[in-house]
Amino acid sequence: MQALANNLNNTTITDHLVSRCKKGDVHAFRELYNAYSAAMYNICLRMTGNTADAEDTLQEAFMQVFRNIERLENAGSVTAWIKRIVVNHCLSHLRKKKVYFEEVDNIDVGDEDGAVDEDSFAWTVAAIRDAIHVLPHGYRTVLNLYIFEEYSHKEIAAMLDISESTVKTQYMRAKDKVRQIVKQKNAIR
Amino acid sequence: MPEKSLEDFIRQHRSAFEEEGPPPGLWTQLEKELHPPKKNKVIQMLGRHWLKAAAILVLVVNSVMIIQFLQMKKAQSLKNISPELQEASMYYTTQIEQRLEAIRVYPASVLGLDSAARKELELRNDTYQLLEAELIQNPGNERIKAAMVRYYQLKLDLLDKILDELRTKQPVRQKQSEYEREI
């Protein structure tokens, strides 16, 4: 009951905040920015791979959010809406940097959540983060969008304008690559 | 402790993957973009539409130059088209202007002409402008040249007749005497 009350309360606050933003209230813009900038900055950082590009992309994305918020029909979907704008900006940034998301020949990738990681070894946050950081842009983008941003393969395929099977293949390759890198690091230690 | 899969590990340690938010200066930059320093509206518009402004400027300058060129050409045309007509024109123009000056001395009540008729008496009336335009378009046409001379002569005759009548109606004034002395 308390959770429901909190949820309703949050929804009302969000509705009110979005409504103030739609009226061009700069204080409301700041509140919206404070509420979402950290999470969105992390998306930018993961997607672009460096702080300078992440900051630029975040700034551009938030300007679009502020300029277009009056088009947002459902205030309840503001998080997904902002996240999508941020992701789109990151993708255009990558395209500007000549990162192409091309079709690849299908390989038998099996079940996407299957036993690829059956070998048990010590995952660590730092090791995974470092491994993802050195992945080729295409792999890193697919892996980030799937694992961290929780988009489906179908949604990712639409965003990158490639087939769903290519997304699955790229994702499995990216995961293998991460495993290899972390394994190598563990072996060195 | 070993983990089963990469996805599981990331899901379980999701918050540990989050770094700090953006630097505090980023909001200041965004705020500046939301409220850019207010420049003069004209300068802002020029900045935004400089290409359009340049194109309009070029068009305006071109139009002014074309109009000036056409006017100059028109002014020079009669002289270039027919030097002999230019000579005749100067003679008749002087004569006609003298008659018109003399007529203007009389009050409208004595003159007895309405504004339309007075306008028709002027040298550069509609007929004159029509003939001039025709001559510019057909510079070698002798009939138009003859018509122009005939126009001058008729106008001069008409003005002389009006002046005669006016002299009969109204006693000769100082200015009329001057006119008579001139001719």
Tell me if ipTM is over 0.95.
Answer: no
Q: Report pLDDT digits (tens) over B88-143.
A: 888 888 888 888 888 888 877 777 777 777 777 777 777 888 888 888 777 778 88
Residue B26, pLDDT above cutoff 90: yes
Q: Which CA distances in Å does A121 have to A69, A160, A163, A187, B71?
A: 46, 32, 32, 10, 93
B40 lies within 8 A of chain A by CB: no
Predicted local confidence at residue A151, as pLDDT: 95
In contact, B175 and B105? CB cutoff 8 Å: yes
Q: What is the pLDDT along chain A (189 residues), one digit of tens a residue?
A: 455 455 555 777 788 899 999 998 999 999 999 999 999 999 999 999 899 999 999 999 999 999 999 989 888 899 999 999 999 999 999 988 776 666 555 444 444 444 444 455 688 999 999 999 999 888 999 999 999 999 999 999 999 999 999 999 999 999 999 999 988 877 776
C-alpha angle with apex A80: A78 to A84, nearest 5 degrees?
A: 115
CB count within 10 Å of CB A40 equals: 27
User: Shortest CB distance from B34 goes to which of A42, A54, A66?
Assistant: A66
Domain A2-96 architecture:
Orthogonal Bundle (1.10)
Predicted local confidence at residue B80, as pLDDT: 65
**DSSP class per residue in chain A:** -HHHHHHHHHHHHHHHHHHHHHTT-HHHHHHHHHHHHHHHHHHHHHHHSSHHHHHHHHHHHHHHHHHHGGG---GGGHHHHHHHHHHHHHHHHHHHTT-------------TTSGGG-S-----HHHHHHHHHTS-HHHHHHHIIIIIS---HHHHHHHHTS-HHHHHHHHHHHHHHHHHHHHHHHHH-
Environment class of A56 (CB within 10 Å of its CB; exposed 0-12, middle 13-18, buried 19+): middle
Closest CA to B151 of B125, B182, B112: B125
Nearest CA to CA, how far is A132 from chain B (Å)?
11
Predicted local confidence at residue A101, as pLDDT: 66
Predicted local confidence at residue B183, as pLDDT: 47
Predicted local confidence at residue B135, as pLDDT: 80
What sign does the CA torsion over A103, A109, A113, A117 have? negative
CATH number of A115-188: 1.10.10.10
B142 lies within 8 A of chain A by CB: no
Residue numbers of A between 10 and 39 with CB closer than 8 Å to B: 26, 29-30, 33, 37-39
Predicted local confidence at residue A108, as pLDDT: 43
A62 lies within 8 A of chain B by CB: yes
More reliable by pLDDT, B35 or A60: A60
Q: Taking the domains of chain A in order of start, what are their residue ranges?
A: 2-96, 115-188
B20 lies within 8 A of chain A by CB: yes
A52 lies within 8 A of chain B by CB: no
A59 lies within 8 A of chain B by CB: yes
**DSSP class per residue in B62-106:** HHHHHHHHHHHHHHHHHHHH-HHHHHHHHHHHHHHHHHHHHHHTS
| Cβ contact, residue pair B10, A147, below 8 Å | yes
Q: Report pLDDT digits (tens) over A119-142.
A: 556 889 999 999 999 998 889 999
A37: chain B residues, CB-CB within 8 Å: 21-22, 26-27
